[in-house]
Chain A
């Protein structure tokens, strides 16, 4: 007898991209003024979970760490087809960096859904762009993991994944249980059905976990457990400096590499200045 596949999707509430108000004095986001939404990559992770549910049958638990208002993204996920929502919330969790966040989420998953088969996370968030929480959870939970996947195919306990890496597609395989972070490249997330939205509020309760429930030292959560210090936040200044290279194709190519080796190297991920051809 096979048991129901147990999926966990970690989602984060981020400010609406279209409503991102900045305080020009401090350079910080005025989070309390912006409407909240599911982080776009997390929405793709949820879509990947919903596709697995549709094809294989699964129970999807969505989990988020945040203030009470983050209940909204859990309700939205339930409306889209998730089965259970968990809000991990405690004033002592405020100000968490990625390390403290991944620790809290890992503890919450161990506490509330220890028998998970697969954890799906967005590959990064639109409000901080670190892309660290998923990989850190892989370490914390000591499970196999793949980052930046954009397509999943499950066959028994074997998960095949594809990810775009530079200009080629990698196909990987991973035994469950594991964790995968999902990009926004494929499978546009479904729209929320209005009947599902009504049910998400009338038929399902959100489970809540506090720091005490996780049996976690408060020194390891929130700002206290966060080694990352933000020194400054600012908007980059856009510039339009154009350089016109003239001459023969060979001369232009030479100038290009002489003058812009750092930019070209950065784009393709190679140290061009010290690059040596293979013998």
Chain B
């Protein structure tokens, strides 16, 4: 068991860090303030394979291993969590389901433009009355000749305002058959597909999270993903991988806040000493460092299992649960260390604090992660 990162993973970290600090660092505050999606940076990211991280080479992707993937999301999010979110959702729950469940024809059609970032992906499960309950989707698909007609509204869609491809989970009712959940690949130019207003959210403000409306949207058979009735399986498989991405994102936010706290604690003088010389602050920093390290180990273990083609769902859920909880704790302590300045928008910790919370909510709430973990634990101890 080797806990040291290999040369490749060290280089991935430095490569993404160099890019993030140079290109995202100078604008992270402004795009959060203005809730602006930075297309100018996306253009630069497109040629560097950020949108084809785990897409196979034959479709134009970089096909990186899962630890490289996690490090990439971690480092983007360390500087700008909104962009980390865009990249991880696009890759893990946008493109990967097409790669895992799509036909060869669908992969050839959709994956190359997704790998290049020409078409950004979105994952549309959540509705007004469905989210944690994936089987409760009310968006309805009716089979017609050569396809389906879909009606419904998806909410809180990450990348919603910019997506070119959206995976729509819908309930299919046909005749006397039991209703089933299917997945449809909707495209932004399809008649009946439209984007709602961008949500005014607490954090992740540079990501255009929106509702998506499907009004008599006709989706051809060529755009049906997986077998009929396999929607829940596709959702759960996608979310297992998605949790690695969100855990990495949460870890990156925690790391960014932690580094900001260390820097500030060495600069800020009280009682003619830097506050880092006080034991209370030292205890805070020690807790933050320990928890971040523990989160990183949990995350990389899940990644290593995935790369070894072993079951990783429970471990990914543990990583997501823990990393998101330390993201909120670490950003809270980082703000505490910054005192009044930390509560001001002048300092990055205020943004980290707002960004952290949602990692406990999306791609499976912490409560759902506990459900996943407890089921595994109970089944192992019969």
Contacts and interface: CB of A to CB of B under 8 A. Distances in A.
A194 B8 contact: no
Contact of B48 (A35, A71, A194): A194
Contacts of A192: 11, 15, 18, 48
A63 B47 CA distance: 26
Interface in B1-36: 7-8, 10-12, 14-16, 18-19
Given A72-B7, A191-B19, A197 B12 contact: yes
Contact of A194 (B18, B44, B68): B68
A37 B14 contact: yes
Nearest to A35: B14
Interface string B214-257: 00000000000000000000000000000000000000000000
B359 interface: no
B53 interface: yes
Contacts of B365: none
A193 B48 contact: yes
A71 B7 contact: yes
Interface string A195-235: 10110010000000000000000000000000000000000
B11 A195 contact: no
A129 B223 CA distance: 60
Contact of A191 (B11, B15, B63): B15
B15 A194 contact: yes
Q: Which of B15, B53, B61, B72 has the most CB of A within 10 A?
A: B15
B contact patch SS: helix
Contacts of B61: 195
B67 to A, nearest CB: 12
A191 B12 contact: no
Contact of B62 (A71, A191, A194): A194
Given A193-B47, A193-B48, A195-B49, A76 B68 contact: no
Interface string B35-55: 000000000100111101100
A75 interface: yes
Given A35-B14, A37-B14, A194 B49 contact: yes
A197 B57 contact: no
Interface in A35-82: 35, 37, 71-72, 75-76, 79
B259 to A, nearest CB: 11
A210 to B, nearest CB: 20
A198 B63 CA distance: 8
Contacts of B142: none
A72 B62 contact: no
B64 interface: yes
Contacts of B18: 191-192
Interface in A1-59: 35, 37
Contacts of B53: 194
Interface residues of B, number: 24
A192 B49 CA distance: 10
A195 B64 CA distance: 7
A201 B52 CA distance: 18
A72 B19 contact: no
A195 B58 CA distance: 12
A191 B75 CA distance: 15
Given A194-B49, A194-B62, A72 B10 contact: yes
A12 to B, nearest CB: 16
Nearest to B57: A195
A191 B44 contact: yes
A201 B8 contact: yes
Contacts of B12: 194, 197
Contacts of B47: 193
Contacts of A76: 11, 15
Contacts of B19: 191
A72 B57 CA distance: 24
A194 B64 contact: yes
A85 to B, nearest CB: 13
B372 to A, nearest CB: 30
Q: Which of A37, A72, A192, A194 has the most CB of B within 10 A?
A: A194
Q: Which of A193, A198, A201 has the most CB of B within 10 A?
A: A198
Nearest to B72: A194
A76 B15 CA distance: 9
A201 B15 CA distance: 14
Contacts of A72: 7, 10-11
Contact of B68 (A35, A37, A193, A198): A198
Interface string A161-204: 00000000000000000000000000000011111011001000
Given A194-B49, A194-B50, A194-B64, 14 more contacts: A37-B14, A71-B7, A75-B8, A76-B11, A76-B15, A79-B11, A191-B44, A191-B48, A193-B49, A194-B15, A195-B61, A195-B62, A197-B12, A198-B68
10 contacts: A35-B14, A75-B11, A76-B11, A191-B44, A192-B48, A193-B62, A194-B48, A195-B61, A198-B62, A201-B8
Interface of B: 7-8, 10-12, 14-16, 18-19, 44, 47-50, 52-53, 57, 61-64, 68, 72
Interface of A: 35, 37, 71-72, 75-76, 79, 191-195, 197-198, 201
